[in-house]
Every structure is written in C-alpha cells, then in structure tokens.
Amino acid sequence: MQNDFAHEVANQRQTDPDLAVSARELTKRFGRFTAVDGISFDVRRGEIFGFLGANGAGKTTAIRMFCGLLPPTAGEAQVAGYDVRTQPRMIKQTIGYMSQKFSLYEDLTVAQNIEFYGGIYGLTRPQIEHKTGLLLDELNLRDRRDTLTQSLPLGWKQRLALSVSLLHDPSIIFLDEPTGGVDPISRRNFWRIIYEIADSGKTVFVTTHYMDEAEYCGRLSIMYQGRIIEIGTPGGLKEKYGLDTMQDIFVHLVGGDTRKEAKQ
C-alpha cells in the first residue's frame, strides 16, 4: 500500500504551481539512525495537511527539512516551488514557522516581540506599527501591549506566537505541535484560527499527536518510525478501514505497542 502511494505521487509533475509542498523519497539520517525514511507526498495550496504520529516518529525532523533548518540526507523536497537544498533562503521568506517549544522572548513585551520578528523579516517601521495594531486587536491583547510575554497564560502565548509567525504574510505556515500542553478549549479556539488561516488561502502544515486534532485536518499522513504508512482524508481513511475514529485507525495501523504514546 505504501508503494502504490509512492508511485502515485512520483508520477506527478514536481513543478506544479498548485503544490505548496512536495517531497520525493525525502530522507534524513543522523549517523546510523534514520529519522525520516524516504517519505513522498504532495500538499496542495490552501490545504490543512496533518502529520500524525507518536513522539519520535520523525515529524519534527521532516518539518525542519521543509523549513530549511536541516539539509536532507537524500531525496528531494520543494516548498512553494523552491528546493529545500539549494534555495532555503527563498523558502524562509515565504513560510511561517511555529515550533513546538514556545519561542517568543519571555523578557520582551508583547509589542517588542512583534517588533523584533517583524524586523528580522525586513518589515518597515510603519508596516510593523500597522501589523501590531491589527494583531493586538485580533487577539484582544491591546491592553497587554506592554506586558512582559512571560506573564501571559500559555494559551495566549501560543496564539501570539502563531500571529507573530504570520507577520510577514507567508503563503505556507508550518505548525509543529502547536497545541502541546494547552487545555482542550484553547485547543479548539486555536483550530478555529487555523481554519481562518486556511480560508484566507494559506497552506497549513501541522504536526500533532492528538487524535481529535487529526480529525480537523483536511488530509493527513500517519508517520511511524520515519515512514509514512498511510495518507488520505479522515473520512476516506475511516471508510477504507471501516473504523469510526482516527484513534482506531491509528491503533490498527501502528499496533497496540505505541497506543499509550498517542494521546486521546
């Protein structure tokens, strides 16, 4: 089944302008350990594409290769039509990225964080001022403008981090486990924003190990030990396996041994 799917994508043209992300036999090895093992898939523009997998399945390593943070060991990948190997800078200007670790400056105020990240993407001062105003209104943080980021609740920090990663208006946004450690209500709110982002025409590439989040994705791939073992829409996969939830599908595919690693 994995081979069928690999053939299918391999036959498509790689420079399709409709493709946001495309990977062909993309591989990353650290010494003798293979973190990502020949993954191939395409993501169309405007999709919400999910990477589902247990911790250590290779999701973060894959996403880092797409963001130009890690050079691949073998295989190819294009992001927004740019090659990850040769054009990482073009990719970086085009994409947004939010890591699983909260990565705003805790000792900077909300406004200072926005100003800094706007600045390193080359935004002008008036552009930054304008964006800051919009963003604070959107997040309802206007009166927290000069609060230190460390004093915000985690849910807000993550929404702020997401907004900051969108400052330069990227066409593709990579979210690496964006909702880790956040309560279910904040998570649902977060996903509402993800839908808004996708509605505005941006591609959302999201990794998660939450099964309920997998249900929200337009299409998703299940990663296990560095390989993509299944790919499709949540509805399509349920039909294919005759199962009711993503949880059941995941357990069916990966087996009971990793059950405890994948959270409800």
Residue pair 77/39 in contact by the 8 Å Cβ criterion: no
Contact flag: residue 35 with other proteins (CB under 8 A): no
What is the edge-to-edge ordering of all strands in the sheet holding 82-83? 33-44, 19-30, 74-79, 82-83
171 CB-near residues (< 8 Å, 6+ apart): 20, 45, 80, 94, 95, 201, 202, 203
Structure tokens at 144: 């927290």
Structure tokens at 206: 């999201």
Length of the chain: 264
Backbone angles phi, psi at 106, to 5 degrees: -65, -30
By C-beta, is 14 or 73 nearer to other proteins? 73
Of 11-19, 62-70, 198-206, 207-215, which segment contacts other proteins by CB under 8 A?
62-70
- 168 half-sphere exposure, CB direction, 13 A CA radius: 21
Structure tokens at 122: 């080359």
Q: Measured from the CB of residue 99, what is the shortest distance to other proteins in angstroms?
A: 5
Q: How many CB atoms lie within 10 A of CB 100?
A: 17
| Helix and strand counts by DSSP (H, E) for the chain | 10, 10
Contact flag: residue 121 with other proteins (CB under 8 A): yes
Q: Measured from the CB of residue 186, what is the shortest distance to other proteins in angstroms?
A: 20
* Binder of other proteins out of 118, 178, 226, 234 (CB under 8 A): 118
One symbol per residue from 161 to 200: x for binding other proteins (CB under 8 A), - otherwise; what is it?
----------------------------------------
Please tell me the distance from the alpha carbon of residue 47 to that of residue 170, in angstroms, as a whole number: 14
By C-beta, is 122 or 256 nearer to other proteins? 122
Contact flag: residue 129 with other proteins (CB under 8 A): no
Contact flag: residue 105 with other proteins (CB under 8 A): yes
Of 100-108, 180-188, 195-203, 253-261, which segment contacts other proteins by CB under 8 A?
100-108
Contact flag: residue 103 with other proteins (CB under 8 A): yes
Contact flag: residue 114 with other proteins (CB under 8 A): no
Contact flag: residue 53 with other proteins (CB under 8 A): no
Contact flag: residue 204 with other proteins (CB under 8 A): no
* Binder of other proteins out of 27, 87, 93, 245 (CB under 8 A): 93
Contact flag: residue 70 with other proteins (CB under 8 A): yes
79 CB-near residues (< 8 Å, 6+ apart): 20, 21, 66, 67, 68, 91, 94, 95, 172
For binding to other proteins (CB under 8 A), which residues are involved? 64, 67-71, 88-89, 92-93, 95, 97, 99, 101-108, 112, 115-124
